[in-house]
């Protein structure tokens, strides 16, 4: 039974992420179309049903699977094949520690809706994100193409620069919640400040939230920060890829978008917490409360998590289709001379306030 619960949780989160990826490829087309007063992809149909263009990702997948898989003659066969798998694996494995629901007692079992209950959950996410760089670097290096190598070098330097900002921003959050376990962090965000403001990261760390969101967007390597791709200049580390291996790099970008949204949700938007919803129902103040069964609460909290992640995904898509691309030196200047000092300032302010309170 333990194994069954564990397996079903992993099954759920894996399919959730893959579903999000599918929807995001559709959303990318449709949302950008609506933002630019267009209609968007709506031609792919099954038996005449177009369903708002939802079959386009399916058509894409079929196309990518049936295309020729080309490995450049001078390239390294093994690494060239391995790279997309490495990139995608490390993007997917990070979801193991993201809590998508609270701890519930179902049929005599205490179920924590988190695949891997790690004490160092946050560090694990950062470790996998850093390992993910290997996928991009290997892709560029094994392609035997100068542009691909340039793209992977840019990817590595960009991700390392912005990971420092991310790590420094996280310290502020850690000082407040005093844990690295993401589930405990979300549980701590269920408390309230002065009785009515939920103790979410965004209210306690507004500067940290902005910095982390920016750095997380930079980690996804999508448009305002798409220097590694730079489709108008160097195409990027996947220039020598074709077929589904190229599709896997694209999918990795979308999975990283979902991961960034899930991380921002978990750290700053209260994870699966619904304001005023405890483990046995809504509790407003004094006499005012609504009792709910455990299953209902679970349903509400998981949907709250999904809603927050979806809204953040839409927001990131909005940013992606609004802002133009940074130039390389502007990107580095933003990362090292603006965001890093600000994040250190954030640590200092948080420390001073915590000292003053205690």
Applying CB under 8 A, the residues found at the interface with other proteins are 31, 33-39, 210, 318-319, 321-323
Q: What kind and span of H or E run contains 295?
A: helix 294-320
* Residues 239/247, Cβ–Cβ less than 8 Å: no
Instruction: Measure the CA–CA gap between 268 and 189, rounded to whole angstroms.
Output: 9
CB of 210 to other proteins, least distance (A): 7
* Beta-carbon contacts of residue 16 (< 8 Å; ≥ 6 apart): 100, 306
Angle at alpha carbon of residue 213, lines to 208 and 217, rounded to 5°: 150
Q: In this complex, which beta carbon is closest to other proteins, that of residue 74 or of residue 206?
A: 206
Q: In this complex, which beta carbon is closest to other proteins, that of residue 27 or of residue 292?
A: 27
* Residues 42/53, Cβ–Cβ less than 8 Å: yes
Q: In this complex, which beta carbon is closest to other proteins, that of residue 46 or of residue 318?
A: 318
CB of 217 to other proteins, least distance (A): 11
CB of 103 to other proteins, least distance (A): 37
CB of 346 to other proteins, least distance (A): 15
Q: Kindly provide the b/e burial profile for residues 225-262, where b requires at least 16 CB atoms within 10 angstroms of the residue's own CB.
A: bbbbbbeeebbbbbbbbeebbbbbbbbbbbbbbbbbbb
CB of 35 to other proteins, least distance (A): 5
* Residues 331/162, Cβ–Cβ less than 8 Å: no
Per DSSP, what are the bridge partners of residue 278?
281
Q: In this complex, which beta carbon is closest to other proteins, that of residue 285 or of residue 322?
A: 322
Q: In this complex, which beta carbon is closest to other proteins, that of residue 51 or of residue 78?
A: 51
* Residues 122/180, Cβ–Cβ less than 8 Å: yes
Q: In this complex, which beta carbon is closest to other proteins, that of residue 2 or of residue 37?
A: 37
CB of 34 to other proteins, least distance (A): 4
């Amino acid at each position: 039974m333990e194994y069954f619960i564990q397996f079903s949780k992993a099954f759920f989160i894996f399919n959730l992420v893959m579903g999000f990826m599918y929807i995001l490829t559709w959303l990318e087309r449709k949302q950008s179309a609506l933002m630019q007063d267009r209609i968007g992809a709506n031609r792919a149909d099954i038996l005449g049903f177009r369903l708002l263009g939802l079959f386009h990702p399916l058509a894409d997948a079929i196309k990518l699977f049936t295309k020729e898989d080309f490995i450049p003659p001078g390239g390294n066969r093994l690494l060239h094949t391995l790279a997309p798998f490495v990139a995608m694996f490390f993007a997917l494995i990070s979801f193991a520690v993201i809590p998508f629901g609270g701890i519930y007692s179902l049929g005599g079992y205490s179920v924590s809706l988190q695949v891997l209950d790690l004490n160092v959950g946050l560090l694990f996410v950062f470790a996998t994100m850093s390992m993910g760089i290997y996928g991009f670097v290997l892709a560029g290096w094994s392609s035997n193409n100068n542009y691909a190598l340039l793209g992977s070098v840019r990817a590595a330097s960009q991700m390392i620069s912005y990971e420092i900002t991310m790590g420094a921003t996280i310290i502020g959050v850690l000082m407040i919640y005093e844990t690295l376990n993401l589930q405990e962090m979300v549980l701590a965000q269920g408390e309230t400040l002065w009785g009515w403001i939920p103790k979410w990261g965004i209210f306690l760390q507004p500067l940290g939230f902005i910095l982390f969101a920016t750095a997380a967007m930079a980690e996804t390597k999508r448009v305002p920060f798409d220097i590694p791709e730079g489709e108008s200049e160097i195409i990027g580390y996947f220039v020598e890829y074709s077929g589904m291996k190229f599709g896997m790099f694209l999918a990795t970008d979308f999975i990283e978008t979902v991961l960034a949204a899930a991380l921002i949700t978990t750290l700053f938007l209260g994870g699966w917490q619904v304001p005023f919803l405890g483990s046995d129902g809504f509790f407003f103040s004094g006499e005012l409360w609504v009792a709910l069964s455990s299953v209902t609460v679970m349903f509400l909290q998981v949907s709250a998590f999904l809603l927050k992640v979806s809204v953040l995904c839409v927001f990131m898509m909005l940013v992606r289709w609004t802002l133009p691309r940074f130039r390389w030196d502007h990107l580095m200047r933003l990362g090292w001379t603006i965001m890093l000092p600000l994040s250190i300032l954030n640590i200092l302010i948080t420390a001073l306030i915590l000292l003053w309170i205690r």
